[in-house]
Chains A and B, each alone.
Chain A
Amino acid sequence: MKKNSKLRLICFILALTTIFYSISVIGSTSVFAADVNTRYCEDEITPNDNLSNTNNIESVQPKFDNKTIYMCKYLYNLDDSIDYIYTEFENGGYVVFSRETMEMMEYSLNGTLPYTNSSTKEYYAGPSNYLQKEADSKFINLLTNEQIDITINEAIDFSQQIRKAMKIQSLYRTDINFEYSNTEDEVKNLLHSSINFSNSVDRNNKPKEDEDNLIYPTLGMGTLIPNYRYFSANPTHGKNNKGETYGNGNSGTCGSVAAQILLGYNNYYNDRRIINDRYLNGYDDITNTVADPENNPNYCMDPMLMTNYTTGTRSEATGINSFYSKVITTIMKPNTKGASCKEVYNGIKAILNEHLSSNDYYIVYQSKRWFLSPSPITSAPIMAEIDAGRPLIIGTSSRLGSSNHMVVGYGYQNYTYPDGSGTYAGYIVHYGWTNDNCVWINSSWCDGYIALKINHNHNYNTVGTIPGTNRTEYKCTTCGHRTDAAINMLSRDRYIEKVATLSTGKYQDYYLTFETAGNKLIQTFGANDSRLYLYDSEYNLLAEDDDNGYLTNAFLNYTVEADTPYILRVKFYSNNISGKIKIGLTPASNVYSKYENIWTARSTEASFTFSSSLNTTRVITFTPKESGTYKFKTCYIGDTRIDTYLYLVNPYSTDACLFNDDGAGDLQALITTDLVEGRTYFIVVSTYIITTSSGRLSISINKTS
């Protein structure tokens, strides 16, 4: 090499070294801690990003030139779509933008709006309508403290009208498919390039994690996935001690522990094909059988038995039947320590692909780990996963105040440090250490996540009564998932009842499918105030009701799709009540908004005549004017005999309803029973086989004594 070329090469290398060193030592890149006092408009851009509405920027720029942004956060439209950004400035002043068009909804150079500086979801419904949700369909105006009832349909209509008026094309959801970017920079860019964010809150002074004193939160002040009890059971999982090796000479296995727990959860609830029996507890390696069925979720007598064994997986340090070892050796190369977010992601995929096809799941990861400028991951996708009922792996970083760890998140809530350090947003996690299954971590310590969604929909068959109980076991014919909380309404089903037994503050979710599409009437019965919620399989609320049923029972109609999973949630209105709630479902031909609107009679005798249609039933109510014994009898009209069926429900009771097929002879139904004066009884009448038979029917009601 010539002398000059050699010298140029040396200078080039020196130049690179200097630049590199200068950035790391002299330059200070901004390290944002996403604590509650700083940013809340987390990284989010849409596929159809057209946020640069220059007209609005030009009108905004002069107004906020000298301002420093104190905080910004997303505001929700009434249908939970993230349609707005609220930006508040130091020393007063605020602006509310439309996210898509950046149109200013309102602003002030001096005042602020009563939105809280926290991760609590807050809503915007136009000037003076600054809302927070207290309960489903109940909002409170933060300005006036006024309580406002808005049904879900009203919320959807309102939001759609607003978006239409603003010519917004897309409905924004907190969906992991969206890409994210730094929204502080985005807002900064759109307002003015010179605008600053507040330094008055020292972003680097957020509390650091103290692994010796983990934070064990009081649950109930935030959001948990519905199946959070899985983590309360503390499923068996691998250990991760210094000085030990696991798998194939591996250590530093926190990522593998998190993956083991996440896969265990999804196997337990979503698809039992993920983990083979030999990797589950209760399996005997000598006989190659499940020798201890009560430790195995697929064989225990009660399918709802949740111990750390039935929820967990085999966790020996090594061994061909240890699921923990399998996870480690899939994620980590032999004799290595630790794993990156990507390696854990790839390992989970490899395990899923052993038994599932790529269509059976969706997995994504994001990591913000970069050695020059560590940055917390946005909380929006993590919260979105939890809102959709899915736990996920969250990575933390020592450069953000935690340790270089991976945990499984299943909730989020704020936490107020008792030493006055402030209130911060964070996640509820299984920490992966022995007995640390409910730990709070600050969201600003987190730099990555891995989100997993299993696409399998259970197809339940009835197995039979669970021994020793009055509950029924259902089992998925595809994956083997077992439950006592499935309602699979077949085409031939005229009326189904389920009784939920609830402790105080608890709810019951049912996995619901319908063989036939169409309107279904779903309501509760019983003496206490109850509520119903209908969700899709991702816990998006479709319908709900409180008091449209009998007295304070719930009552709703919904047009369902066939073979599509729904989740029906039932609970008492009050968190202080325990007991039973009965749910009734029927494919009612007529849609009524309230129980009291159902075709009815109030007397000592009545007669109803109607035409029945295929795949439906006719619902009627009857209020006896006097207590006594009454006879209910069906009949067909015309020459062609039609086989009928009859149900009679006492709406005040959770006891099983009365039902009859041919008690009156001639294939007609007959029920004779005592009725209470003034109580409005619920009646379901139909042909015997609703899928093939219809016709003109009648029911007569007479007091006999």
Chain B
Amino acid sequence: MMKKTKYIALALLLPILFCSFAGCSAIKFNAVLYSHADEWVDEDFIKDNKVKAFYLNDDYTEGISDPNEKYIRDKDSPSSRVFIINDEDEYNRIFSKSPINVNFEKEMVILYIFSDVNPYRKYKLKGINLEDNILTVQTKLEYKNINDTTMPYPRCFMLKMKKTEVREVKFTTK
């Protein structure tokens, strides 16, 4: 009976292990994605590098200005921006509030600013590939059984990874 139970447990464990390894092998370069990095990025940097999103109107005064003008939509900026950061000074300048330590001798950071409508969901890193020095990063949006979008706002991903020669980065969401 004991032996039988052991075999059953083993038979059940093996697929789980297989699945786990299958998942792990998709994330190369020791990459880690922080999908709410907008909280860490310097506000002026975000203002200086706008994307197609709604931004708080600097001239808005509560109680005086038209409430419809509290947020203004930027339609002229690009949909997204990518920054490849390879040194600590630049990292500290951009990520003025980041708690993440980066060893720039072995690691690098990629900042992806884009227009997002899902502030209350995380993005997970699903895969990362490098071909011809073009890095493709696949993410997946967290599932929830509700509708919770907002109007577009600027969101930041911070991707910390092994130092690699990269000339271009593309982010996709599944």
Q: Judge whether B150 and A339 touch: CB under 8 Å.
A: no
Asked if B147 is at the interface of the complex by the 8 Å CB criterion, the answer is: yes
Q: How far is the CA of A85 from the CA of B152 in the complex (A)?
A: 42
Q: Judge whether B153 and A241 touch: CB under 8 Å.
A: yes
Asked if A240 is at the interface of the complex by the 8 Å CB criterion, the answer is: yes
Residue of A nearest to B120 (CB): A337
Residue of B nearest to A341 (CB): B147
Q: How far is the CA of A17 from the CA of B9 in the complex (A)?
A: 12
Residues of A within 8 A of B12 (CB): 11, 14-15, 17-18
A247 CB to nearest chain B CB (Å): 14
Asked if A135 is at the interface of the complex by the 8 Å CB criterion, the answer is: no
CB < 8 Å: which of B13, B19, B115, B120 contacts A25? B19
Residues of B within 8 A of A22 (CB): 15, 19
Q: Size band of the A side of the interface?
A: 35 or more
Residues of B within 8 A of A254 (CB): 147-150
Asked if B100 is at the interface of the complex by the 8 Å CB criterion, the answer is: no
Q: Judge whether B5 and A239 touch: CB under 8 Å.
A: no
Q: Judge whether A405 and B117 touch: CB under 8 Å.
A: yes
Q: Judge whether A241 and B147 touch: CB under 8 Å.
A: no
B59 CB to nearest chain A CB (Å): 17
Asked if B54 is at the interface of the complex by the 8 Å CB criterion, the answer is: yes
A373 CB to nearest chain B CB (Å): 12
**Contact A252 B148, CB 8 Å, known A10-B9, A212-B52:** yes
Which one of B23, B67, B145 has the highest number of Cβ atoms from chain A below 10 Å of its Cβ?
A: B145
Q: Judge whether A404 and B151 touch: CB under 8 Å.
A: no
Residue of A nearest to B16 (CB): A18
**Contact A404 B148, CB 8 Å, known A251-B120, A399-B143:** yes
CB < 8 Å: which of A213, A251, A395 contacts B150? A251
For chain B, residues 1 to 24, give those with C-beta under 8 angstroms from any C-beta of chain A.
1-2, 5, 8-9, 12-13, 15-16, 19, 22-23
Q: Judge whether A398 and B118 touch: CB under 8 Å.
A: yes
**Contact A434 B148, CB 8 Å, known A242-B153, A399-B143:** no
CB < 8 Å: which of B22, B146, B151 contacts A242? B151
Asked if A451 is at the interface of the complex by the 8 Å CB criterion, the answer is: no
Q: Judge whether A11 and B9 touch: CB under 8 Å.
A: yes
B36 CB to nearest chain A CB (Å): 11
Q: Judge whether A404 and B147 touch: CB under 8 Å.
A: yes
Residues of B within 8 A of A433 (CB): 151
| Contact code string B31-61 (vs A, CB < 8 Å = 1, else 0) | 0000000000000000000011010000000
Residues of A within 8 A of B118 (CB): 398, 403-404
Q: How far is the CA of A114 from the CA of B151 in the complex (A)?
A: 43
A405 CB to nearest chain B CB (Å): 4
Which one of A7, A11, A243, A343 has the highest number of Cβ atoms from chain B below 10 Å of its Cβ?
A: A11
Q: Judge whether A339 and B146 touch: CB under 8 Å.
A: yes
Q: Judge whether B144 and A404 touch: CB under 8 Å.
A: yes
Asked if A21 is at the interface of the complex by the 8 Å CB criterion, the answer is: yes
Residues of B within 8 A of A405 (CB): 117, 147, 149
CB < 8 Å: which of A10, A212, A371 contacts B79? A212
Residues of A within 8 A of B22 (CB): 25
Q: Judge whether A338 and B115 touch: CB under 8 Å.
A: no
Count of A-B contacts with CB under 8 A? 123
Q: How far is the CA of A22 from the CA of B13 in the complex (A)?
A: 12
| Contact code string A296-334 (vs B, CB < 8 Å = 1, else 0) | 000000000000000000001000000000000000000
Residues of A within 8 A of B149 (CB): 240, 252, 254, 403-405
| Contact code string B88-126 (vs A, CB < 8 Å = 1, else 0) | 000000000000000000000000000101111100000
| Contact code string B145-168 (vs A, CB < 8 Å = 1, else 0) | 111111111000000000000000
Residues of B within 8 A of A11 (CB): 5, 8-9, 12
Residue of B nearest to A431 (CB): B151
Residues of B within 8 A of A581 (CB): none
Asked if A255 is at the interface of the complex by the 8 Å CB criterion, the answer is: yes
CB < 8 Å: which of A14, A17, A212, A340 contacts B145? A340
Asked if B81 is at the interface of the complex by the 8 Å CB criterion, the answer is: no
Asked if B71 is at the interface of the complex by the 8 Å CB criterion, the answer is: yes
| Contact code string A233-270 (vs B, CB < 8 Å = 1, else 0) | 00000011111000000011111000000000000000
B55 CB to nearest chain A CB (Å): 10
Q: Judge whether B151 and A239 touch: CB under 8 Å.
A: yes
Q: Judge whether B143 and A316 touch: CB under 8 Å.
A: no
For chain A, residues 371 to 407, give those with C-beta under 8 angstroms from any C-beta of chain B.
371, 395-396, 398-399, 403-406
Asked if B141 is at the interface of the complex by the 8 Å CB criterion, the answer is: yes
Q: How far is the CA of A655 from the CA of B70 in the complex (A)?
A: 52
Asked if A211 is at the interface of the complex by the 8 Å CB criterion, the answer is: yes
Residue of B nearest to A344 (CB): B147
Q: Judge whether A338 and B120 touch: CB under 8 Å.
A: yes
Interface residues of B (CB under 8 A from A): 1-2, 5, 8-9, 12-13, 15-16, 19, 22-23, 51-52, 54, 67-68, 70-71, 73, 79, 115, 117-121, 141, 143-153
Given A344-B147, A371-B145, A434-B73, 13 other A-B contacts at CB below 8 A? A4-B2, A17-B12, A18-B12, A25-B23, A213-B79, A242-B150, A243-B119, A243-B153, A316-B67, A395-B147, A398-B118, A404-B118, A404-B121
Q: List 8 A-B contacts (CB under 8 A).
A: A11-B12, A25-B23, A239-B67, A239-B70, A255-B146, A337-B120, A337-B146, A403-B149
Q: Across the A-B interface, give the 8 residue pairs with the lowest CB-CB distance, nearest first.
A: A338-B148, A252-B148, A338-B146, A242-B153, A14-B12, A242-B119, A212-B52, A212-B79
